[in-house]
Amino acid sequence: MTNILEAIYNIANHQNFEIKTLHPGRNRMNDMGKALESYVIDAFANTFQVKNELQSIKIHNEKFSWLGNQNNPPDAMIRNGDAIEVKKTQSANANLALNSSYPKSTIRSNSTLIANGCRDCEDWTERDIIYAVGNTDDSTLKSLWFVYGSIYAANHNTYELIKTKMKDGINSIPNVEFADTRELGGVKKVDPLGITNLRIRGMWHIHNPRKVFSYLHNKTTSNFELVSIIPTDKYISFPKTSIDKIENLNTKGFSITNTKVKDPNNPAKLIDCKLIKLCV
């Protein structure tokens, strides 16, 4: 079994941040996004040094119950552990495009936006989710933030309420034919000939963790930054072997400190967290 502490430890030991495009193609941004996903998966699985593809596949199968697709969150599910959603930016402060999926404090098996393969990969109801946000250029990983959804996004009801009210408003328009859809709405036969349909989709964005947690960390002149924010109650739930490995790590630019972050559901409250950084 793996976890975020193991991933941080593996990155600190590996210290190679050159992520090349893995698949040739016209869309370089998508290629780099896939390369970042592979880097994050290798970090959690400790397969940076594994050159044999079949061996790597077997290790990933042991560590993960789900390795996702481009259209449905999450990108990965640790076996009996957390979900992981990977987001790539080419600007250090760029907002994250979540498309039709609102920000998640946790991920739930009854969500209509996850794939059936993810829903059925294990017997589960709700999992913690890690947002892994990487800033890259055309070949190199410049920074990587690991942030738990529970300290990044508000509870599900916050977003569901907005979605429901918008959908109800759209459905209240008179004299149009509505389609059954998982999106905000769908209108059939908009024009007199009845040949035009309208899809109404939500396009969610969320501020980059670098902006959200600017009171904890500002960009440095380092070639690479790893910043991880983990709720303290989550941190102490990990196996002692993982905690010992990370706390005994003697690497230049590495630090673990106690901190507090604003509660996404009530900024007047603070949540105890561990701030883990690697700046090299």
From CA 94, how far away is CA 142, in angstroms rounded? 14
Q: What pLDDT sits at residue 188?
A: 86
Q: What is the pLDDT of residue 27?
A: 44
Residue keyed to tokens 């998966």: 41
Q: DSSP for 179-225?
A: PP-SSSEEEE--STTS---EEE---EEE--HHHHTTTT----S-S-E
DSSP-derived secondary structure letter, 232: H
DSSP 3-state helix, strand, coil percentages of the chain (rounded to 5)?
A: 30, 30, 40
Question: Mind listing the pLDDT tens digit for each residue in 219-278?
Answer: 888 999 999 999 999 999 999 999 999 999 999 999 999 999 999 999 999 999 999 999
pLDDT at residue number 40: 97
145 by Cβ neighbours in 10 Å (0-12 / 13-18 / 19+) ranks as buried
Residue-range domain boundaries for the chain:
4-155+203-279, 160-199
Residues of the chain with pLDDT under 50: 21-29
Q: Cα–Cα distance between 200 and 186 in angstroms, integer?
A: 6
Q: What pLDDT does residue 29 have?
A: 46
**Helix (H), strand (E), coil (C) string for 94-129:** CCEEEECCCCCCEEECCCCCCCHHHHCCCCCCEEEE
Provide CB contacts within 8 A for 134, sequence distance 6+: 36, 39, 40, 86, 87, 88, 89, 141, 142, 143, 144, 145
pTM for the whole structure: 0.92
pLDDT at 20: 64
State how far the Cα of 193 lies from the Cα of 174, in Å rounded to an integer: 18
pLDDT recorded at residue 107: 97
